[in-house]
Amino acid sequence: MASEIENVTPQKQAEEEFLEHEKRGFTLLAAYEAAFPEMLRDLRDCPMLLSAAGDISLLNKPSLAFVGARNASLLGKMFTTKMAQSLGQKGWVIISGLARGIDTAAHIGSLETGSLAVLACGLDVIYPPENAALYKNIIANGLVLSEMPLGTSVEPSLFPRRNRIIAGLARGVVLVEAAQQSGSLITAHYAVQEGKDVFAVPGFPSDPRSQGCNALIKQGAVLVESADDVLAFLSPLESTSEIPKGDPKGMGGAADKANALREEILETERKDSLKDSLLRELSLTPVSVETLFQTQNCSLPHLLQLICELEMSGVISRFPNGDIALQAKL
């Protein structure tokens, strides 16, 4: 048994993964390769490998992401499909996560112009199962992407990792019907961290599916009601040829870099302070995210991101109803 374990080296695993990709007609992209998406190289935790199936040239084309509710309304899905179609016709690749609801609607709207799906599981695992036909359609006409090894099944902790890639690849993120406590807001927060634009479609105040979008608009997200609204905001920026690479807002110079570094240090300090405060409030007894939010001096996206990070590191557990508690040590 010991000899078998010793024979499973990282190099051997990588070789087996490469051969399996080749066998299935998939592509394995390393971060040092020219085909690797340039936008992801700027991520603080850039994935070292990406599994891809389809047209990898889409990775370095202008793109916008759509995120939103899985239990989206019919009007929300129709609106998303139409907007994705309109933006696609203007040359934008549309990125989403192949989930139910808004994700599915965005992919359907962009199938003919360039649709890119980022998975939270292995490239060979189709989730949700009812999107099997859409998955195959995107591979045939667009691109499916994942940073997870082949065969990796869906786990809640993998969705935030998927969301950071969606935000990292896109020029901006459009939110449609996003609830207050949702992965969509985490994607929006990642987008803000990476200097991307956040667009939100407003909704009826009493609909829980719109409360996250409405809150983001209050916090400074760009209110959009059509593809033209998105294009009107982006066009002046996209036509500015002097925008430095990796700086979507066109801010350059030593002073700006110093300010950015200072903000990053302050943000790290604030995050550590929030983490300590959050852990003091938690126990082995489950508590709702809403209750925690009322005790913390931070924005909801910051809190949701930290909860996801603590969950991924095994410090806390999330229950089926969304409540969280400290992880019991056996």
- Domain positions in the chain are 10-238, 254-326
Range name among 141-150, 223-232, 307-316 with the lowest pLDDT average:
307-316
Q: List the single range of 73-87, 171-185, 252-266, 294-308 with lowest mean pLDDT.
A: 252-266
The tokens describing 311, both together, are: 């969950």
Distance CA 108, CA 131 (A): 11
pLDDT of amino acid 174? 98
The whole-number average pLDDT for the span 86-108 is 96
Domains 10-238 and 254-326 share a fold: no
Tokens of 83: 């907007």
Q: Which CATH architecture has domain 254-326?
A: Orthogonal Bundle (1.10)
Confidence of residue 135 (pLDDT cuts 50, 70, 90): very high
Mean pLDDT of the chain: 83
Backbone φ, ψ for residue 63 (5° rounding): -140, 155
Is a pLDDT exceeding 90 seen at residue 293?
A: no
**Can you give the pLDDT at residue 20?**
86
CA distance 297 to 13: 45
Q: Is the per-residue pLDDT at 262 higher than 50?
A: no
The model's confidence at residue 243, banded by pLDDT at 50, 70 and 90, is very low
Q: Per-residue pLDDT for 259 more than 80?
A: no
pLDDT of residue 5: 36
Percent of the chain with pLDDT over 70: 84
The tens digit of pLDDT for each residue in 17-37 reads: 888 888 899 999 988 888 999
pLDDT of residue 41: 85
pTM as predicted: 0.69
Residue 258: its pLDDT value, please?
41
Q: What is the mean pLDDT of residues 96-103?
A: 96
| Cβ atoms of residues 210 and 79 within 8 Å | no
* pLDDT of residue 316 exceeding 70: yes
Task: Answer yes or no: are the C-beta atoms of 130 and 156 closer than 8 Å.
Answer: no
User: Strand 143-146 to strand 316-318: parallel, antiparallel, or no bridges (unpaired)?
Assistant: unpaired
Query: What is the band of 242 on the pLDDT scale with cuts at 50, 70, 90?
Result: very low
pLDDT band per the 50, 70, 90 thresholds, residue 159:
very high
Return the CATH class of domain 10-238.
alpha beta
Ranking 153-157, 196-200, 243-247, 261-265 by mean pLDDT, the lowest is 243-247
Per-residue H/E/C for the chain: CHHHHHHCCHHHHHHHHHHHHHHHCCEEEECCCCCCCHHHHCCCCCCCEEEEEECHHHHHCCEEEEEECCCCCHHHHHHHHHHHHHHHHCCCEEEECCCCCHHHHHHHHHCCCCEEEECCCCCCCCCCHHHHHHHHHHHHHCEEEECCCCCCCCCHHHHHHHHHHHHHHCCEEEEECCCCCCHHHHHHHHHHHCCCEEEECCCCCCCHHHHHHHHHHHCCCEECCCHHHHHHHHHHHHCCCCCCCCCCCCCCCHHHHHHHHHHHHHHHHHHHHHHHHHHHHCCCCCECHHHHHHHCCCCHHHHHHHHHHHHHCCCEEECCCCCEEECCCC
233 and 222 Cβ atoms separated by less than 8 Å? yes
Res 289: pLDDT: 83
